[in-house]
Amino acid sequence: MTKDIFIGIFVGLIANAIGLFITANLLGNGDDFTKVIKAAAEEGFLGKLISLGAVLNLIAFFIFIKKRQDYRARGVLLITVFIAVFTFVFKLF
């Protein structure tokens, strides 16, 4: 049970990182990934970029639900909620 939750958290983190990379490349107009992230932080929309990256977690969540791997889906949901809280706090400060 605990192992499956950690697998879900890991999958959620990887899916979010891949989603962030894809989003930064699509919206970055061909610039380098680190350059896009630095520009997003300076202009104040890094939280929005991270939130867009979390869309891939939705896909992972529904795949785990369809396969009846509820604890892995719970891990993906936990990391998605954590990312939402992180972006909310990041936006405040």
Give pLDDT tens digits along the chain (93 positions).
899 999 999 999 999 999 999 988 888 877 788 898 898 888 888 888 888 888 999 999 999 999 999 999 999 999 999 999 988 887 787
Cβ-contact 39, 47 below 8 angstroms:
no
Q: pLDDT value at position 51? A: 87
User: Hey, what's the torsion of the CAs at 5, 6, 12, 16, to 10 degrees?
Assistant: 160
